[in-house]
Amino acid sequence: MTVSDLTKQAIDAVGTNASSDWLLQPEQHAKSLPDHAGPLKRILEQESLKGIISRFKKADVSAVRQQVRYKRAGRVGIWTRFISILIGAAFIFPFENLFADWAGPSLPFGLEFTQAAFLLQLFLLGLAFLTAQWLAYFRPFDKWMEARAKAEIARIDLFNNVLDSNEASRPGELPVLPLQLEYFRRYLLDMETSYYKGRGEEHSKAAGRSKLWMLVRNLLIAAAALTLLYGLAAIFGIFPWIDELSRKGFIASATVASAIYGVMYDISLMDMNERNAARYRSTFDNLVYLRNAGLDQARKLAANGHKNGVRHFSRLVNDQISSEHREWVALKDLMPKLNQSLLNFESAT
């Protein structure tokens, strides 16, 4: 059997890519394999993989929960600050005169409209302060990153175990190494490439929405500048009727522009849109390069039984996928048996 024939049979045995490939379901994958992919099927049915999957699921659930907590609290803090600033900006103008007849008698506790607005503003600022303290104390962002890192490191560990497993082929079965490589290619390399492409595009669109907010802010700054010019004109006797209004308009517009800038910056910082868009695009490009430049050679190595070459290729892929997560994982978790691994290295040399 030629190298190309063996590779094609291994590709066909592992199957075509699907949208559900991100799920870690080696037992289900094993059931879908044909009989001549027996070595891979037996590897995927090993009990040792179940512990890794359990570790992944636990970390994944924790990551999702902490992400929701972080973003929910973050948005509460951002929007309460923004609304409180808008209230202050609105009352630069004499709006209380417009609402005095309508709002005064109907407000509870005999409050005037301006008093009620002040209390609302005070409440919103207090809520924003408490939210900031909650985020600092409970650290949901750190917990989110740590849990996500543990989940993705567990995902890589699963594929490392699949690639490192030695399973002899029986009569009528394909060699194990090409099957292992194609399983790695479909369920990790191709899946992660698709993920980074999609998420990178999502973050780019979100960053574009931030630019729309920036445009609104710039328009408000322009409006503030125009009112300032009107005010300067009034000093020289031009448009004297707009003097006071221009000053208040400038202050209000500048305040609202600053508030919009703050919201835009805080949301972009919280969602990490621009940073993630650039980082995901870079990782996607690197994975595409590895696939285009290295996969065919790795397939030849697999067909000829060169396991070290296949593992070298897989490590190059893993380095790209794990680079963003390793900073959040303690080395003692990544290498719990460092002393033993060094002893093994010593004995090997």
Q: Look at residue 314 in the predicted model and tell me its pLDDT.
A: 95
CA 63 – CA 269 distance, rounded (Å): 19
CA 149 – CA 164 distance, rounded (Å): 22
Q: What six digits make up the tokens of 168?
A: 């002899």
The yes-or-no verdict on residue 81 having pLDDT over 90 is: no
Which residues, in sequence order, are CB contacts of 110 under 8 Å at separation 6+?
Answer: none
- For residues 283 and 196, the answer to whether their CB atoms sit within 8 Å is yes
Cβ neighbours around 175 below 10 Å, total: 18
Average pLDDT (101-127) is 71
Of the candidate ranges 16-30, 43-57, 201-215, the one whose mean pLDDT is the lowest: 201-215
Q: Classify burial at 331, counting beta carbons within 10 Å of its beta carbon; exposed 0-12, middle 13-18, buried 19 or more.
A: exposed
Domain residue extents for the chain: 3-162+176-338
pLDDT in tens, 270-326: 767 777 788 889 999 999 999 999 999 999 999 999 999 999 999 999 999 887 776
Maximum distance among all alpha carbons in the chain?
Answer: 101
Q: How many residues are recorded in the chain?
A: 349
Under the banding of pLDDT at 50, 70 and 90, the label for residue 109 is low
CA 49 – CA 30 distance, rounded (Å): 12
Cβ neighbours around 343 below 10 Å, total: 11
Q: Look at residue 7 in the predicted model and tell me its pLDDT.
A: 93
The yes-or-no verdict on residue 338 having pLDDT over 50 is: no
CA 162 – CA 159 distance, rounded (Å): 5
CA 159 – CA 292 distance, rounded (Å): 20
- For residues 162 and 25, the answer to whether their CB atoms sit within 8 Å is no
Q: What six digits make up the tokens of 104?
A: 């005064």
Cα–chain center distance at 203: 8
Q: For residue 124, give the amino acid letter.
A: L
CA 49 – CA 181 distance, rounded (Å): 17
CA 90 – CA 250 distance, rounded (Å): 12
- For residues 206 and 225, the answer to whether their CB atoms sit within 8 Å is no
CA 135 – CA 74 distance, rounded (Å): 8
Which residues, in sequence order, are CB contacts of 107 under 8 Å at separation 6+?
Answer: 113, 116
Question: In the chain, what are the helix, strand and coil shares in percent, each to the nearest 5?
Answer: 85, 0, 15
Q: Look at residue 104 in the predicted model and tell me its pLDDT.
A: 46
pTM for the whole structure: 0.75
Handedness of CA 251, 252, 256, 259 (dihedral sign): positive
Average pLDDT (201-213) is 69
Q: Classify burial at 165, counting beta carbons within 10 Å of its beta carbon; exposed 0-12, middle 13-18, buried 19 or more.
A: middle
CA 218 – CA 108 distance, rounded (Å): 39
| Residue linked to tokens 């020289």 | 236
Q: Give one DSSP letter per residue of 150-195, joined into a string.
A: HHHHHHHHHHHHHHH---PPPTT---HHHHHHHHHIIIIIIHHHHH
| Residue linked to tokens 């300032």 | 228
Q: Look at residue 349 in the predicted model and tell me its pLDDT.
A: 44
Q: Look at residue 84 in the predicted model and tell me its pLDDT.
A: 86
Of the candidate ranges 10-14, 26-30, 224-228, 236-240, the one whose mean pLDDT is the lowest: 236-240
Under the banding of pLDDT at 50, 70 and 90, the label for residue 216 is low
